[in-house]
Structure 1
């Protein structure tokens, strides 16, 4: 039985997020659900987030508010100039040293010394030291896992040495896990492979998964009906509670009121001109292409995609960020001017777009994606078929799920360097738009779209899990 708002009127939760859009937005959306259940919610993230996301002012305020959620900022130990010349490993090492003290001071200043009762700290996976801060303060801690439950299972089993994985001497080893299809090395998260170049990320993940018992709850940005087998496989090891999909509410409802309710932040301002362009295209005629907020394909890969698009003669909407704001692959470059000229009537290239509006637009036939989990969930809740072009981190596993578990898309075949030839891109486009599997893929996509909406509706599986979490917090009080 849900408690009334009066029963826990002063109960607060503090969410702590790594300073990236894909990490902050799921927490903000969960926070919005917790607000609707009567809790008070605060989000803490590093000062670096303030300037690009919230304002251009040089001075970072003590706090701001987003749709009822207070946002506080703490130091990551860098000034703006130093941060520009810092790579991922250096940043992760520094914030692991500076972050705990900064966060401890924030908790003391805003909760311990004040009238607010802090009932729980909620973090996400790439700031595992938050659990230590919460433990020292005597506060229960929860983690919001922002990738699929399947990836949670893989990491847990890898870092706790429960199964055999590829090694330097056996790089092609096939992995067998309960509730999974067989996983080849190209299906695994890049951080568990011996070829992973990022030293800091395995350290962060190892710390979390070897000490996962520090979390009283692990909540997942997924839903039970999507990942039943993966979720159930952890029931006796370290349970995970799906509370998603934590996506913009406009994807989960036809209500116009919900179109304006998203609490998520945007890294860049979207170019809405593409919506007028889409309005003038036939239903199911446009290939939507976007590789997220970090990756820029190599010049060779861009050329391969342009050749494929010209051959298909299908309409396309391609998001290509300005290179100054992106991490560029070796040889990365913009889309060739001659291609833009040749395809002026066929396609449109923009620097950023309102992705959720594009995914639900009747003209959109499919989504060629890097397989970031937020983008995959948005496509699932929109009912949009996918062409999977994964790069790193969880993306290879997400691509495996898309093609072999969810069956809502096609995975591109990549060579040993990750390159995809133009014939393969063309094949995938034609197959998903009008090939032998296209009808099955569309039916599966529509089925999961409806399942996602049911999961977050009143009494749905994710709604029940959120209420269970809230009720346990109230019981702790």
Structure 2
């Protein structure tokens, strides 16, 4: 099967009639109409538009900081709801004159939980109410500092829609891995060929048809939406959003060439330009100077970090601690939580576990608070916190392994820190990320769709003892490649410089 072109993908996707869809368009670079009275070119001004969730805000804010540090004017546009959660409490961060934080409404009432369970309400409001607010915001900006380029999250096609209407060039930023993006782009073809939905419940059956991944995937390794009904609104929303990305004039991915070269080769014919600039959090840390000396984790976190865990880590032996975190969105049943608890206790190794207050699914608030207060008693062998400064935790010499949901931020941070993983993916891209971690890069173990104390105990001991040398050897090689990519001659640093120069060219020609 040859690499499909953008038109091929979009035409094949037309088997759907989606309430979220925009009319298909081909790849093009939108052109701004020049004001005949304007003699001087506009100053480059980038609007960064994240999807309103922790895992999307963080990498895009890292990018915004890097661009502003390099002399570009940047406006970071959050929703009102998330804007209030991030900025007021962070004394470590003082915005630069070149980095402005603003916000617009997502269209939902203040008391809406904006949780994973009610995601459909959020995305529908984004496509209608928030889109109108974005257009109004950009028109207002034309009077002050006109936006010359928009960098929109890959699932915020409202940025592409409004940019096309107003004649503003737009670049898409994909917070997933390249392997996941390529898989998403092929899903319409899988549907047309009858591979999706699955004809039965055998998730261990091999899945064929993804170019570049033959013999690698089982059904359970595909993104989580592949287990959903294909006529659901959320299914169609996420597929539509990935197809809409092909209308942008370029693509940015938080990955690096040496990590995902085979998948990137499939994306190259689809997008007119691809900028791989990962690990982005490491690039942001590397560029932190002057007013950007605050920690990148704290300034992008919707959760308040409990730094007491760092003191606890200081008391632990090198490479002895298992760090456990399932990210900012995933919720688990109480029986799953207890299986993890007993498995971690039984393995006999010290562990640091991030347990958010909202992590337990379907239980009364008072019962959850009571249980968590019982578990969150710090001892010599365990420490449980609501939220942790993850980059610092992974860089701590006491950490020996990471039990993770395999969100892409966590996966990249683990690679950059050289910490091997046990993978327990739940949603979106996490399933396919975990397969690449275990079977392609061989830097961890895949425990997806399994949750019992004996398996957890066994996996921890395999990672920390039985296969420690083998996995650490692979991780050391991959981690070194990550470090090289952001070095003076690294591919990610060169791509970042190329991206910034092209953004400046857009400003000069506007």
TM (norm. structure 2) is 0.81
Aligned to 2:309: 274
Taking the aligned partners of 2:306 and 2:119, their CA distance within structure 1 comes to 29
Please, which of 304, 317, 329 is the counterpart of residue 339 of structure 2?
304
Give how far 1:33 is off.
2.2
Asked whether the equivalents of residues 171 and 194 of structure 1 are also in contact (C-alpha less than 8 Å), the reply is no
CA change 1:336–1:95 in 2 (3 A) is closer
Does 2:478 match 1:448? yes
Give how far 1:195 is off.
5.0
Aligned to 2:455: 424
Please, which of 39, 42, 48 is the counterpart of residue 81 of structure 2?
48
Does 2:134 match 1:96? no
Give how far 1:380 is off.
0.8
Q: 1:330-368: per-residue Cα shift (whole Å, max 9, x none)?
A: 799575777667x83321112221111111111111011
Please, which of 25, 34, 43 is the counterpart of residue 10 of structure 1?
43
Asked whether the equivalents of residues 334 and 360 of structure 2 are also in contact (C-alpha less than 8 Å), the reply is no
CA change 1:141–1:300 in 2 (3 A) is same
Q: How does 1:28-177 map to 2 (within 5 A)?
A: 28-55=61-88, 65=95, 68-82=98-112, 87-110=118-141, 112-114=142-144, 116-159=145-188, 165-170=195-200, 172=202, 174-177=207-210
Give how far 1:443 is off.
1.8
Asked whether the equivalents of residues 249 and 261 of structure 1 are also in contact (C-alpha less than 8 Å), the reply is no
Does 2:424 match 1:375? no
Asked whether the equivalents of residues 141 and 217 of structure 1 are also in contact (C-alpha less than 8 Å), the reply is yes
CA RMSD of aligned residues (A): 3.0
Asked whether the equivalents of residues 69 and 287 of structure 2 are also in contact (C-alpha less than 8 Å), the reply is no
TM (norm. structure 1) is 0.86
Taking the aligned partners of 2:245 and 2:327, their CA distance within structure 1 comes to 29
Asked whether the equivalents of residues 223 and 431 of structure 2 are also in contact (C-alpha less than 8 Å), the reply is yes
| Higher RCO structure (Cα 8 Å, ≥6 apart) | 2
Q: 1:225-258: per-residue Cα shift (whole Å, max 9, x none)?
A: 1111111122223364311112155876999999
Aligned to 1:362: 397
Structure 1 portions without partners, runs of 5+: 1-6, 57-63
Taking the aligned partners of 2:399 and 2:100, their CA distance within structure 1 comes to 36
Asked whether the equivalents of residues 9 and 38 of structure 1 are also in contact (C-alpha less than 8 Å), the reply is no
SS, match of residue 38 in structure 1: coil
SS, match of residue 445 in structure 2: strand
Aligned to 1:4: none
Please, which of 243, 255, 258 is the counterpart of residue 222 of structure 1?
255
CA change 1:108–1:177 in 2 (3 A) is same
Q: More deviation in 444-453 or 212-221?
A: 444-453
Q: More deviation in 187-196 or 94-103?
A: 187-196
Asked whether the equivalents of residues 223 and 462 of structure 1 are also in contact (C-alpha less than 8 Å), the reply is yes
Q: More deviation in 281-290 or 210-219?
A: 210-219
Asked whether the equivalents of residues 333 and 360 of structure 2 are also in contact (C-alpha less than 8 Å), the reply is no
CA change 1:36–1:454 in 2 (3 A) is farther
Structure 2 portions without partners, runs of 5+: 1-39
Give how far 1:406 is off.
1.7
Q: 1:431-466: per-residue Cα shift (whole Å, max 9, x none)?
A: 11010x211211222222222222123331112212
CA change 1:367–1:251 in 2 (3 A) is farther
Q: More deviation in 85-94 or 293-302?
A: 85-94
Aligned to 1:61: none
Aligned to 1:386: 421
Please, which of 215, 221, 240 is the counterpart of residue 187 of structure 1?
221
Give how far 1:117 is off.
4.2
Asked whether the equivalents of residues 285 and 296 of structure 2 are also in contact (C-alpha less than 8 Å), the reply is no
Q: 1:283-312: per-residue Cα shift (whole Å, max 9, x none)?
A: 111111111112232221122122222322
Asked whether the equivalents of residues 253 and 274 of structure 2 are also in contact (C-alpha less than 8 Å), the reply is yes
Asked whether the equivalents of residues 168 and 194 of structure 1 are also in contact (C-alpha less than 8 Å), the reply is no
Give how far 1:321 is off.
1.3
Aligned residues: 453
Aligned to 1:23: 56
Q: How does 1:172-321 map to 2 (within 5 A)?
A: 172=202, 174-180=207-213, 181-195=215-229, 199-238=232-271, 240-247=274-281, 260=294, 262=296, 264-321=299-356
